[in-house]
Amino acid sequence: MTELVLTEKNNHILTVRINRLDRKNALTHDMYTALGDAIEQAQNDSDIRCLLYTGSEDCFTAGNDLGDFAAGLPGDFEDTPVGRFLFLLATTNKPIVAAVNGPAVGIGTTMLLHCDLVFAGNNTHFQMPFANLGLCPEGGSSLLLPSWLGRVRAAELLMLGDAFTADDALRMGLINRACKPAQTETAALEACTRLAAQPPAAIRATRELLNRATAEELKTTMLAEGKLFAERLKSPENAEAITAFTEKRKPDFSNFS
């Protein structure tokens, strides 16, 4: 387990903490491997009844590490570290809670669609700027968001890629509660404690039933998104977006067709 992802097991709860604050918790391939390993650890340990994903009071994650992903994805999407993590997140029968503060960008937002309970600080800004970067949606967001929010609201979030607040997310039904940043993790941990005290087999069955209706379609969608995302990472549009970011200028897509 990389030191950039810390795990702690206590009272039937496995806390998984993203710990790369100097880079706004930007996720590398190795970090995705660690995040996925935590789910497998929970799945294989009957003493773990709940997972808690969190960062710090100031930052959840700024999304993918641009340098680490510049070379594209290594292999078929489902076998890559990020693909493995997302599929484990979507298919595990252990309940997942998230405590989110500060930036929750890209996968920092889409991974929450697979959590059962989400608590966000009022300093959180969610954003899915995939199109802005010449990319496409991932994590099943192109399926789940339209079904939850409606087609036009999902298109607004995924095509325009604007940031939105914890209060916005609460109104849209994407989180359970907006908190003061210092209280976010405490609120999430209280929820984990309550989940861990519930009959474990009943909770696992409930999560499986909640996911059952979309399980097959979600798998198909995530594979299609992953394939296209890998292609988009090599696209001229993504190259222009990354170059503009490093040069601290606005990208120019006027010559693309």
Q: What is the pLDDT of residues 44-54, one digit of tens each?
A: 999 999 999 99
pLDDT for 36-88, tens place per residue? Answer: 999 999 999 999 999 999 999 999 999 999 888 888 888 889 999 999 999 99
Task: Report long-range pairs for 127-132 (Cβ below 8 Å, ≥24 apart).
Answer: 127/103, 127/161, 127/162, 127/163, 127/164, 128/157, 128/158, 128/161, 129/105, 129/161, 130/106, 130/158, 130/161, 131/158, 131/159, 131/160, 131/161, 132/161, 132/241, 132/251
Q: What is d(CA 25, CA 36) in angstroms, rounded to the nearest whole number?
A: 16
State the average pLDDT for the chain. 96
Q: What is the pLDDT of residue 120?
A: 98
Burial (CB < 10 A; 0-12, 13-18, 19+), residue 213, is exposed
- Give me the sheet containing 177-179, strands edge to edge: 5-10, 13-18, 50-54, 96-100, 117-121, 177-179
The two tokens of residue 56 are 């710090």
What is the average pLDDT across 153-163? 98
Q: What is the pLDDT of residue 161?
A: 98
Topology of 5-179 in CATH?
A: 2-enoyl-CoA Hydratase; Chain A, domain 1 (3.90.226)
pLDDT for 202-251, tens place per residue? Answer: 999 999 999 999 999 999 999 999 999 999 999 999 999 999 999 999 99
- Residue 1 — very low, low, confident or very high, per pLDDT cuts 50/70/90? low
